[in-house]
């Protein structure tokens, strides 16, 4: 993250803006994505976010790259709201660590679908060979429907580590 980049108009596409926009696009309840106003209000109004003050306008500037060096408190509030490590927003994670965070975000998004969640939960406790058979059956259905072998954004490993999310927690059903 470039220090002192707060007014640079060529900062669009900054790592922070890209990551924030990814989270806004991906991490929201079913229906409509979060708005800048909603996120700013939640963070500014919630003690769990450390009493940080965040305006809709400043958040918009962070998302469009016009501001690139927010305070640590703002970063902590945003990271807590989206349930990701602060290092993800700071750009302090290695590319593989950042990809892991994004993979876990995609997992959480997929688990919002009650049918997907039902299929996953019903496989819990089945022997590994039966789970492998289920994976094969699902792959065959995907092939028959001319879908890619793996859903977009997955690494093909099909693993779940049970961590519950990027920070080991859940999304808390926020709107």
* pTM (two decimals): 0.64
Asked if 79 contacts 92 with a C-beta cutoff of 8 angstroms, the reply is: no
Residue-by-residue pLDDT tens, the chain, 175 positions: 333 334 444 445 688 999 999 999 888 877 788 999 999 999 998 788 888 999 999 999 999 999 988 999 999 999 999 989 999 898 888 889 988 988 888 888 788 778 888 888 899 999 999 999 998 998 999 899 998 887 765 554 444 333 333 333 333 333 3
- Residue 42 host element (H or E): helix 36-45
Cβ pair 43, 77 in contact under 8 A: yes
């Amino acid at each position: 993250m470039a220090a002192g980049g707060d007014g640079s108009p060529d900062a669009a596409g900054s790592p922070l803006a890209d990551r924030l926009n990814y989270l806004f696009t991906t991490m929201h309840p079913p229906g409509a994505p979060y708005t800048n106003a909603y996120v700013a209000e939640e963070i500014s109004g919630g003690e769990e976010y450390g009493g940080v003050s965040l305006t809709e306008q400043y958040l918009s500037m962070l998302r469009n790259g016009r501001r690139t060096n927010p305070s640590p408190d703002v970063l902590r509030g945003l990271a807590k709201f989206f349930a990701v490590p602060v290092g993800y927003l700071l750009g302090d994670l290695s590319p593989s660590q950042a990809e892991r965070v994004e993979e876990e975000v995609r997992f959480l998004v997929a688990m919002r679908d009650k049918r997907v969640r039902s299929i996953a939960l019903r496989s819990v406790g089945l022997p590994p060979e039966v789970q492998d058979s289920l994976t094969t059956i699902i792959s065959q259905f995907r092939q028959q429907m001319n879908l890619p072998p793996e859903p977009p954004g997955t690494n093909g490993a099909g693993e779940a580590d049970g961590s519950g999310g990027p920070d080991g927690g859940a999304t808390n059903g926020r709107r």
